[in-house]
Amino acid sequence: MKIILFSRPQVARTAEEIRLLLDAIRRFGTEYAVNEEFVPVVRQLTGGEISAEHIYGQRLAPAASEQSIMVCYGGDGTLLEGVHRLGGAPVPVLGINAGHLGFLTSAPNAGLDELFRRIAAGEFATEARSLLSVTGDFAEQPDSHLALNEFTVQRHGAGMIAVETYVDNQMVATYHGDGVIVSTPTGSTAYSLSAGGPVVVPACRCLTITPLAPHNLTMRPVVIPDDSIISLRIRIRHSGAFVTLDNRTYPISQPGDFTVRRAEERIFLAVPHNISFYDTLRDKMMWGIDIRS
């Protein structure tokens, strides 16, 4: 099993944490490759060097193979960027939570020896997760049209924007406000959740449309089948706007039209421990904890 390690330079770590991580990878005799942005951090904090044959860049193809697993060390943002780097390649992705909330990075930043022993032995299950595919009037074309969590349209400035929203050519509503989020089940616990969207179990075959600060207070999130095609027509009067694919931001032409559908590609989250979505939900949301004392 080859480990494709991905981490972002801005993730806070100590020299000891990095040493433990790399030692655990090497201890079980697995091949590995480290993204080029992370190499200077390793050098600065530990004084160690990573040889050229163990470094990969923006093009992941030489590093990936059928017997590979991507290990993302950081928070959910790190995992989203790692998934983007894969570009839809069917490589399992495992997140080690060195961040904060961590709905996607479920493996704890402890017990690394046991974790990598399981990886080396192939002792992990995978969960297929849907991706979004987005096309439309990007002012600057993205290098990938895929998103794991969500696609959003958002205002830029003080004025409202209007987003005419259609599902399979049937009009749902015109959302006047800050914008709209189209979310996968995986993304239901991300931006959509903070905007009042529902929590969706990842196995559900659906998408959600969640308005952002709608001017009409009767507007509510809508859950639709994931084989639907969503059309968004953006109308701007006194404000600018931009769109996002997960954590990647792009300006848009004014006005702009976008089409969102479930992508043919999927990603596979590796699950090394017997941790269910409901366990993670209770833990991260602190459901059932008595805070009265």
Pairing type for strands 161-167 and 170-177 reads antiparallel
Query: Has residue 22 been placed in a domain?
Result: yes
Give dist(CA 265, CA 86) in Å, integer. Answer: 11
Say whether 282 sits in a helix, a strand or coil: helix
Per-position pLDDT tens, the chain of length 293: 889 999 998 777 788 888 888 888 888 867 899 999 999 999 988 888 898 989 998 777 556 666 889 999 988 889 999 999 888 888 999 988 875 556 676 666 667 888 888 888 888 889 999 999 999 999 888 989 999 999 999 998 888 999 999 999 999 999 999 999 999 999 999 999 999 999 999 999 999 999 999 999 899 999 999 999 999 999 987 778 999 999 999 998 778 999 999 999 999 998 876 677 888 888 878 887 777 76
Q: Are residues 101 and 168 in the same domain?
A: no
190 and 115 in a common domain: no
Assign residue 246 the CATH number of its domain: 2.60.200.30
Active-site residue, selected from the candidate residues 76, 113, 168, 226: 76
Question: Is 233 within a domain?
Answer: yes
Q: Is residue 148 in a domain?
A: yes
In sequence order, the β-bridge partners of residue 251 are 242
Q: Cβ contacts of residue 129 below 8 Å, gap of 6+?
A: 148, 184, 185, 186, 202, 266, 267, 268, 269
Q: Which domain holds residue 152?
A: 131-264
Active site residue 137: no
Report the pLDDT value the prediction gives residue 13, as an integer from 0 to 100: 78
Together in a domain, 253 and 238: yes
Q: Are residues 91 and 148 in the same domain?
A: no
Q: How far apart are CA 118 and CA 127, in angstroms?
A: 17
Residue 292 lies in a domain: no
- CATH number of residue 120's parent domain: 3.40.50.10330
Flag whether 290 is in a domain: no
Same domain, 117 and 135: no
Same-domain pairing of 169 and 204 = yes
**Is the same domain home to 110 and 180?**
no
CA distance 137 to 139: 6
Q: Indicate if 49 and 66 belong to the same structural domain.
A: yes
pLDDT at 65: 64
Parallel/antiparallel/unpaired status of strands 256-271 and 170-177: unpaired
Residues 176 and 144 reside in one and the same domain: yes
Q: Tell me whether residue 53 is in a domain.
A: yes
What is the total count of domains within the chain? 2
Same domain assignment for residues 22 and 45: yes
Q: Are residues 120 and 135 in the same domain?
A: no
Tokens of 36: 């080029």
Report yes or no: 237 and 88 within 8 Å, Cβ to Cβ.
no
Instruction: Give a yes or no: residue 200 inside a domain.
Output: yes
For 19, residues 6+ apart whose C-beta sits below 8 A from its C-beta are: 46, 48
Q: Identify the pLDDT of residue 107.
A: 65
Q: 164 and 242: one domain?
A: yes
In a domain, 293, yes or no: no
